[in-house]
Amino acid sequence: MTLEELRKQIDELDRQLVALLSQRAETALEAGRLKVATSLPIYEPAREKLIYENVRAANQGPLPDIELTHIFERIIDVMRALQRNELASQRNALAAVQGHEAGVQSPETGNRQ
């Protein structure tokens, strides 16, 4: 293969990775919603350990296990942040609704929320 052909293949693989990461993010958000609904913590070290074990077991190279684990550590960090951000957004929305129902005024404008 030529360098250009290899680059096109990498570009296609990158698009596939983006699609898969987006699917993973949607699934992580749904898991976060379920965790909130069932009062489970967002951070679950035992689950993360299992993910790393699964990734290493599936690894057929050429990436070393430690490098693949580093990649997944970052992916999991991002997914956890998504869950926390969504939870914070839900809390803010709930607080705004409750504040509006209670007739609370916005501190910035003095207007009712």
Across the chain, mean pLDDT equals: 88
- Helix H, strand E, coil C: the string for 91-105 is HHHHHHHHHHHHCCE
Residue 26 within any structural domain of the chain: yes
Residue 110 within any structural domain of the chain: no
Our count of domains for the chain comes to 1
Residue 112 three-state SS? strand
Encode pLDDT of 24-69 as tens digits. Answer: 999 999 998 998 899 998 889 999 999 999 999 999 999 999 999 9
Q: 86: domain range?
A: 3-102
Residue 108 within any structural domain of the chain: no
List phi, psi (to 5°) of 110: 80, 0
- C-alpha neighbours within 13 Å on the C-beta side of residue 10: 7
| pLDDT computed for residue 104 by the predictor | 58
Contact 51, 76 (CB under 8 A): yes
Query: Which of 18-27, 60-69, 98-107 has the least mean pLDDT?
Result: 98-107
Residue 32 within any structural domain of the chain: yes
Residue 112 within any structural domain of the chain: no
Q: What's 46's domain CATH number?
A: 1.20.59.10
DSSP lists the bridge partners of residue 112 as 105
| pLDDT computed for residue 34 by the predictor | 92
